[in-house]
Structure 1
Amino acid sequence: MGPFAAVRAEFTKIFTTHLWWVLALVLLVYLGALTGGLGTLFAGLQSGAIEARGGHVPSFGDLAPPLYSFATSIGYVFPVLFGALVTAGEWRHQTITPTFLANPHRFQVLWAKICSAVVFGAGYGVLALAASVTGGALALRHFGLDPELGEVSTWHLFVRALAAMALWGFVGVGLGVLVPSQAAVIVTILAFTQFVEPLLRLAAAFSVPTADAAKFLPGASSDALVGASFLDLQNSAEGTMVVAHLDWQHGGLMLIVYGAAVTVIGCLTTWRRDVS
């Protein structure tokens, strides 16, 4: 089986499961509700329509980019889960044996999974942007704020967001190779992305040295690639915390390094082991 046939076989296998569309549906509902709700809150506060404590009208700066970046700042967990599950799920359901029997070239199988995860990651990026831009733009327009959809910089953000989501699919495959237990990899991804890294970034924002170190974390690298993050809203009104970012090129490079690192380590360990 050649590399292109392996990729085609991987897509065929994915479309026979419910995983891809279930994740897509949850992503749309989750990001649409989250962006619409928080967009309404922040836009209402900034416009003065929602009264803040003490009558103070906070300024969050340019609201459109961080609201649209919900697509990646929050939504990146979906391509990571997808990439991990298309790999670890084969061990869980014991389909890895017929997969390797049909194509004994394990590198081709891994290459096919990476290609499919990158494509689906970009597809999830389209859906995530549709949800976050719709929710965010409607909230901004409702309170008389500019959604900036005609700005070139906004469309550059959209393109980089798609690239980030595609790279997260690559990272997910690497994690699935490294941690072949489906339950373990799900818990690891959710714990790190939803709790560990956000808390680390929050704690690191209290000093310059820790903030400079935290900018190399995976989520921070993704935000740097995109060029915006909703996490920056926590400091935009008061300016009491330190926020450090890589430039977008180095942010993208760091995501590639993370994906390559976990994939190579996984290949040297679990991917080479015997299957029955």
Structure 2
Amino acid sequence: MNLVRAELLKVRSTSIWWILTLTYLPLWGLALFFNYLQTDGLANGDFGEAPENQADVVAAASQPDNLAANLYTNGQFFGLLMVMLLGILVVTNEFFHQTVTTTFLTTPHRSAVMLAKLAATALLGLVFWLLTTSANLLAGSAVLEAVGVGARYGGAVWEAVGLNALAYLLWAILGVGIGVLIRSQVGATVTGILLYLGGTIGAVIVISTLAASFGDWINNVQLLVPSLASSLMVTGGDFPGNPPRWAGAAVLVGYAVVAGVVGTLTLRRRDIS
């Protein structure tokens, strides 16, 4: 616990937390604005008649519980990016500020240091989730009331909120893994952002193109893309043509476990000088 507290102190004593927070706030507001427009359109049928091959998906998205789940997990896409960057910086800051040698001299057991970083970052990821979810519950309920649906708190909604918490925790761990593999702060940060944003956009384009040619079964491939697996986890219910939510959670857990194990083994063996 002392090591975990030390890692939390390192974060609090730097500008990491407030820079990421200030970066995230306008992105959260932008996501809420577009989710409001989408919710209003789905709830009131303003999008017109959906294409035949998308009618089932639109009908599922228009269900009150699914509308609520989407609003109560508002900002997930950018939120996960923030906690991933936090995980990267928790590791790379040590190398950037050249404090890693002191850390390992104080605590020679590198595995213990790595586990403390993983635990501290996961905890911070959950705090980030808690704060955003609190804001989402307030704003989401207001949006649902405004569009005439009314606030929803059914079981499927809470499942989405709970799986969203798991996503925040796991992406924090993924960030630590990236930070260990790429010790350069700039290099790890840029790589993480490119993989997250570029990988997501590229995967959506490729999967959509292939699905149009070979059928909806291609949509199952989205499970292999971590950010798409995260989005799948927070749907209010199972959508036509999409894999089940638990599958997205299982795949993301696998990525996080691999990142944690590889990061720990790498940190134990790599020369830090």
Same fold by TM-score greater than 0.5: yes
Correspondence 1:94 to 2:92: no
Map 1:201-240 onto structure 2 (within 5 A). Answer: 201-205=204-208, 206=211, 207-228=215-236
* Structure 1 residue 96: Cα displacement: 0.9
Give the counterpart of 1:24 among 21, 26, 31. Answer: 21
Aligned to 2:130: 126
* Structure 1 residue 243: Cα displacement: 4.0
1:105-133 Cα offsets, whole Å, 9 max, x none, are: 11011010000011001011112223333
Identity %: 28
Structure 1: runs of 5 or more not aligned: 237-241
- In the superposition, the TM-score normalised over structure 1's length comes to 0.81
Inter-partner Cα distance in structure 2 for 1:227 and 1:34: 16
Q: Is the 8 A contact 2:87 2:173 kept in 1?
A: yes
Aligned to 2:163: 160
1:212-235 Cα offsets, whole Å, 9 max, x none, are: 222232123223433459xx9xxx
Inter-partner Cα distance in structure 1 for 2:234 and 2:19: 25
1:26 partner letter: T
Correspondence 1:45 to 2:41: yes
2:199 partner letter: V
Give the counterpart of 2:243 among 245, 261, 267. Answer: 245
1:184 partner letter: G
Inter-partner Cα distance in structure 2 for 1:265 and 1:46: 44
1:220-257 Cα offsets, whole Å, 9 max, x none, are: 3223433459xx9xxx8xxxxx8422442x43332222
Q: Is the 8 A contact 1:177 1:263 kept in 2?
A: no
- In the superposition, the TM-score normalised over structure 2's length comes to 0.82
1:163-205 Cα offsets, whole Å, 9 max, x none, are: 2211211111111111111111111221122222233034213
- Would you say how many aligned residue pairs link Structure 1 and Structure 2? 256
Correspondence 1:142 to 2:139: no
* Structure 1 residue 263: Cα displacement: 3.3
Secondary structure at the aligned position of 1:14 is classed as helix
Aligned to 1:181: 184
Give the counterpart of 1:8 among 5, 9, 20. Answer: 5
Inter-partner Cα distance in structure 2 for 1:199 and 1:134: 33
Inter-partner Cα distance in structure 1 for 2:39 and 2:99: 49
